[in-house]
Chain A
């Protein structure tokens, strides 16, 4: 298995730049998520790692070897396509054995290998069936079988669960993760679904407009977003972002939100101008004594919790609170923010370094 290093990777399609200058490292055995909205360059990045697109500039190292200009067939990687791309004129067995046949493996060995893989995926009974009659989940398993059968140095997956219905996605997500844990293979997985990324990934890269916005562990990204884009993209509902004008000096421990002083983690890279105050809904509490106030305009019941929407002087704020707290629409109340969890963003959208997030954000 292998480590994958991406350095200053860039891809242009004519006048359009799909990937600006990506750099990140996928450690050996990691389940790595490339996350972003459609058109952000995540699939292009994956295809460059696979060798299906050649980068305009930059380097790709797989297992220490620079491969950026090599064709796909020489990279020893497996790719799982969103639409599975099973060869329609072959049956399941032939599909799975196809990568082995290209290596010139003896027939008996191919047979043994294919049965072994079919066993792992629970598709032994399907081996002699044509692929056209298979259900979505079984196609997915065959596609996985074709990927794992030759023990590649890494797996690349392009929204492999995208073509499945919701009910089955959950199940396949668990199955995929279990398969990964069992094989310990380096996996790069593209998705636009932040929940899927957080649920399955060891690490996440968040991309937008061809730029890597943030790269790190799911929890770090969730707690300490590097940019307002990440803050908005990750989490449901998203982080509350309130724009305000203030000076946030070095060493400051509070900011003024519409004349209310709010404690924040000690700021290390101060700035001023139009700042953005970010807080996750679960860190917003109802507290009549709090100075920052808002009027309740909506509540959504979610079982164990409820989402309350407030109208406040600086914009709407959502709070996630216990479901059994009774709230009345139209009521005006104070909002207390959990001061240890607050993020501040500079006018350019980048997070201000603070005592709380410096460990997460200082590496890049």
Chain B
């Protein structure tokens, strides 16, 4: 595989790969490093890439595995760090958070790694369940179950957030009225 083929057959997945890194690592700078690291490794092994049938699944799975390895290395016990629960936004935060789209991003980030990877592959990348199953090395049924759990949690978080906003609004009205 020469530079031109690498450009057309591997670099075409760049954006998806980088977004996958961001989803796993939740850190922009670290994600950039992970992306560059993966690309360098793929370039060095470009001769073997020609034999791979589903390149998209292969490179995305490679990206995810590399990021998970990095996370494990950061932990003394070698495990993936557990996610914090979604913190209820304080009044100050609510007032500042005019961009509710960013709030959704933070909500997705508190889902377990597998759930947020699946929800992003389905709703952001618009991949089919079959493709996601191959990337994650799980059954299609497991993808559907995780997707369902992730979306239900997102709905709960959205509804909770809305209630918090209502309470804050009423509290503000009582004090100013």
Q: Do A and B bind each other?
A: no
B-binding residues in A (CB < 8 A)? none
